Amino acid sequence: MTDDLEKKLTALTDPAKFDAGAMVLGPAGTEATSAAMLHAIDNTILPCKIVFSIGASSITLAAGGRRLRSCLEASDDLNAPSDALGTTLSSEEQDALIKTGKLINELLRKDGALLMKRHVESASTGQSDAGVGVKTLAELWGVDLDAAPPTQFEAFETALGDSFIASIETDGTARTETRGDASTADTRRPTKAYPARG
């Protein structure tokens, strides 16, 4: 087996990148995760449905040709206005784009990791140039497309954070952040070799 193929196969089983067949884009609420969501839309060529989810909350988007075409479905807890679903998006219809952006923000406010599943459509639905490109969406929604992806530790923490009793981050000499059970964390020396962000 070639090294390149072995790396790709290893990546497919990496729990920090995949969860039950869904790709882990990162922890909700970060600029990098919002950018990853838009990059996932930008990476579409064939028409497809993309399901973004955090826990039981989800949004299903129609995309293709590197464009967001419409928001098809949203879980009930997101309280989507009826006119935000099923509407074909265009750069001329700013109101529909703003409603879609607010709906996506509602999803990204949830706690947990943002997961993505892509389902390719068997046939093209609508015009190939329908929808809105991600640069336009990023400008309208205030997303930095160049936001840095999560570090390896952040990805690890997102995938397995629920199994931690406590975690400590240091800058090499002192604690920078502590999560979880404080009494457990306090029994650890701040200079012990725990991974640090950045």
Measuring CA to CA, which residue among 79, 81, 86 is closest to residue 61? 86
3-class DSSP state of 111: coil
Q: How many CB atoms lie within 10 A of CB 85?
A: 17
What pLDDT, in 10s, does the model give residues 18-59? Answer: 666 678 888 888 888 889 899 999 988 889 999 999 999 999
For the chain, the domains span: 14-141
- Whether the pLDDT of residue 112 is over 70: the answer is yes
The pLDDT assigned to 27 comes to 84
Alpha carbons 70 and 43: distance in angstroms, whole number: 16
What pLDDT, in 10s, does the model give residues 56-107? Answer: 999 999 999 999 999 999 999 998 888 889 889 998 888 889 999 999 999 9
Measuring CA to CA, which residue among 138, 132, 126, 52 is closest to residue 96? 132
Written as one letter, the residue type at 105 is N
Average pLDDT of the chain is 77
Q: Which two three-digit tokens encode residue 145?
A: 């497309």
Q: Where are the beta strands (DSSP E) in the chain?
A: 18-19, 22-27, 48-54, 57-64, 67-74, 113-120, 132-133, 166-170, 175-180
